[in-house]
Amino acid sequence: MGRDNKQGVPVPVPVPVPWDRLKAWIEAQEVGEQLGHPSITKEQAAALSRLVDFLDGPEPDVSDRDYVSLLMHQAQHRNFHHHYQELEPVDVPVDGVFSLRWRTVCFLTYADKGFPCLGHGLYQGQDPPLFKSKKMSKQYAAKYALAYIHSHPPPGNASSIAPTPASGGAPLGPVPGGGSDAGISPSPSAPLPGGVPVASPSPSPSTTPESGFYADGRLPSVLEQVSLEANRLNFGCPKYDIGPDPNQPGCFAGKPIFPNGGRIPPNLGYVSGVSTKGQAKELIAEELLRFFKDQFKIRQDIVASFREPGDSPVENE
């Protein structure tokens, strides 16, 4: 213990952080997981959750309308069948405490699809969002099934679209903690199928924009993908700082700037000696996209390792 030269009072000496050993431990866990060895313990995961987020971001807000009842209204008016399936809950560590999160899929029989799916509440390579409440996860599934019905009407019903009751203009108002369970099939359904790329309705301000990125079967451009992935991983949408390269006249250099930049590796996305601003921006985006995909895979692997065969899920409504 050191001493303050002026006061003579003992001053605690901070213990150096063993970064090398910490990095070696992380690498060992990754290698062990790839070889099929047991991953980190729940205690370790709980401790890590105080440092990093295990969830991709806040759950989408679907409390504005009762989408389950709206979907039932459409099903009765247009004579099609639908049902819901609750997927296996995920026990996720949040701030040192484990909590169950829920997912629900809504199946439209005439479309042979489950929602959310690509272009409707789900991005390429992304799992459906996780919710604290089963009822809210069901509302999210119903919301995107409803959007699909409006853009892909059931056969023979293209001209008979039932009007969607507006909030405040009909008895179907904001969700009072969940909707009706009518129409739920007790029989198990097939796993979540892939969806046809289509445009989505406008999201609430607190969610990542979802409309238009998969319209006409076109995958998002690299810049759009970066924006989606950055928000999905809770890094925030990046800005591109591009200007003349001081070391190479006639060329450009640039770097990304993140609102939550403390979690971004130093020098990630830095480029120089590029002939045009547009090319510099695209090169930055390509490097960011590779980084985001790696980060997403790491998070998926960690969350998947929390599931234990002996766990008995407890409902959380």
- 175: in domain: yes
**C-alpha span between 58 and 177 (Å, rounded):** 18
pLDDT of residue 160: 43
**Strand-strand pairing, 121-122 and 117-118:** parallel
Confidence check: pLDDT of 317 > 70: no
Sequence-distant contacts of 309-316: CB under 8 A, at least 24 apart:
311/91, 313/88, 313/89, 313/91, 313/100, 314/100, 315/134, 316/89, 316/99, 316/100, 316/102, 316/132, 316/133, 316/134
- 62: in domain: no
| Closest among 125, 79, 124, 129 to 105, alpha carbons compared | 129
Statement to judge: residues 73 and 156 lie in one domain: yes
Statement to judge: residues 128 and 241 lie in one domain: no
pLDDT in tens, 185-226: 333 333 333 333 333 333 333 333 333 333 333 345 788 888
Statement to judge: residues 208 and 238 lie in one domain: no
Domain boundary among 180, 195, 219: 219
Residue 96: partners with Cβ closer than 8 Å, 6 or more residues away: 46, 47, 49, 50
Give mean pLDDT, residues 106-134: 84
Statement to judge: residues 167 and 236 lie in one domain: no
Confidence check: pLDDT of 296 > 80: yes
Statement to judge: residues 116 and 254 lie in one domain: no
Statement to judge: residues 203 and 248 lie in one domain: no
Supply 86's token pair: 């609750």
Determine how many CB atoms are found less than 10 A away from the CB of residue 247. 9
Statement to judge: residues 73 and 211 lie in one domain: yes
Residue 263 lies in domain: 232-299
| Closest among 94, 95, 120, 123 to 105, alpha carbons compared | 120
pTM listed for this prediction? 0.46
Sign of CA dihedral 90, 115, 207, 73: negative
pLDDT of residue 4: 58
- 1: in domain: no
Statement to judge: residues 153 and 253 lie in one domain: no
Portion of the chain with pLDDT greater than 90, in percent: 16
- 10: in domain: no
Confidence check: pLDDT of 162 > 50: no
